[in-house]
Amino acid sequence: MSHHRFDAAYYRRHYRGRSRVHSAREVAHLCRAVDGYAAWLGLPLRRILDVGAGPGLWRDWFRRHRPAARYRSVDVSPYACERYGHERRDIARWRPPGRYDLVVCQGVLPYLDAREAEAAIAHLGSACRGLLYLEALTLRDLAEVADPGRTDVAIHARSGAWYRVRLRPWFRQVGAGLWVSSSSPMAFWELEAAAGATPS
């Protein structure tokens, strides 16, 4: 993956103006939803890892609303790290030390080739002890959901099944982009989670 692709022009194109992918207000709704779901599960979000943190919208929300949480934001882009204050890390090559109650990985995996994406998923799995929020565009998304005027389609497009097979050793899918670490003792009613989750 070319780190230089994610430069100032990329961020102007996808994070500013009318063609931006997500606004701060939209991301705030998502952060509240994830934070609320964690509270519903009885999972305190004390340690959070944000992979591919970009403009830092998740970090900004959690710093404002959960200031006691230890928040670590990383990105592969030299521009994003300098501009928004993240650590420079490549999740395909970096295994995060320690474990986190929430790992955020929004819009990262489709930029990686198959080998890199598999390594990144393993690194996310080893780092997560609670919830993973994952957004990764699939072939179906590109065909049926994504707005080509706002979405960067220069990615490695793969099926949802490709991701599920590789996520399965590490996570159980609970919906709305959320996955629970397979090492977590949390249990779910049958209809709360995808097949294979342990019923309570």
Q: pLDDT tens digits for 81-118?
A: 999 999 999 999 999 999 999 999 999 999 999 999 99
- 176: containing domain: 3-192
At residue 2, the pLDDT reads 47
Summary mean pLDDT of the chain = 90
Q: Number of structural domains, the chain? A: 1
CATH classification at residue 45: 3.40.50.150
- Residue 52: band (very low, low, confident or very high) from pLDDT cuts 50, 70, 90: very high
Phi, psi torsion values for 67, nearest 5 degrees: -65, -20
Question: Whose CA is closest to 50, among 102, 123, 120?
Answer: 102
Calculate mean pLDDT across residues 172-195.
Answer: 93
At residue 197, the pLDDT reads 46
- Residue 153: band (very low, low, confident or very high) from pLDDT cuts 50, 70, 90: confident
- 88 occurs within a structural domain: yes
- 199 occurs within a structural domain: no
Three-state SS at 172? strand
Q: What are 16's two structure tokens?
A: 């500013």
- 30 occurs within a structural domain: yes
At residue 4, the pLDDT reads 56
- 162 occurs within a structural domain: yes
Question: Whose CA is closest to 46, among 87, 100, 85, 86?
Answer: 100
- Residue 14: band (very low, low, confident or very high) from pLDDT cuts 50, 70, 90: low
Three-state SS at 152? coil
Terminal-residue alpha carbon distance, the chain = 42
Q: Which amino acid would we find at residue 155?
A: I
- C-alpha 68/C-alpha 2 separation (Å) is 35
Q: What are 189's two structure tokens?
A: 């009613």
- 197 occurs within a structural domain: no
